[in-house]
A = this chain, B = another copy of it.
Amino acid sequence: MSPRAGLTTDAVVELAIALVDEGGPGELTLAKVADRAGVAAPSLYKHVKNLADLRRLIDLRVVKEMAETLKNAATGREGGDAVAALADAYRHYLQAHPHRTHALTAAPDQGDVELSAATHAVAEVVFAVLRPFGFDHARSVHATRCIRAAVHGFASLEASGGFGRPEDVGESFEVLKKMLVQGLTDYATNHPEKR
């Protein structure tokens, strides 16, 4: 299927992600990927358009992986339980791969169908979990944003080492989850007519 028993785009992305995981996005360089692949740098262009494209492929893979992770975490749970499970899964993913934070804020640019679909898939999981709360559409959007903001904010700050103090970070997260679940419950209950 390929001369020289060679690389594939997937393999390149694999090596690239390894580099990011080891040293952060700043360490990602086509030269280093080529080196690890045992190939001259220009050869990579047969598998990847350019560095920006490689970055996008990384984002894509990470977002897809996160969607899968969250889906698994949510299945078999309901309501607040499910929300807490999502939060834990999201946090654990970034604990395991602290340098992937940036990939999860990637805003797909106009026309990037595949990345859009992937981020959409993440949102879908949250939407599904919120169904038992009985929000109308607009409210479920607001609720999803709140969950994402709180959980991603916490996990990314933790991943970047932003929590300097010695107090237990896990307990802080428990507090956050409780706030979130309680807040969602209230938001589902108190339906002021107009405002």
Contacts and interface: CB of A to CB of B under 8 A. Distances in A.
Interface in A173-189: 175-176, 178-180, 182-184, 186-187
Interface residues of A, number: 41
A6 interface: no
A38 interface: no
A105 B158 CA distance: 10
A143 B174 CA distance: 11
A159 to B, nearest CB: 9
**Number of this chain's copies in the complex:** 2
Interface of A: 105-108, 116, 119, 138, 141-143, 145-146, 148-154, 156-157, 160-165, 167, 169, 171-172, 175-176, 178-180, 182-184, 186-187
A164 B106 CA distance: 11
A143 B175 contact: yes
A135 B107 CA distance: 38
Nearest to A186: B182
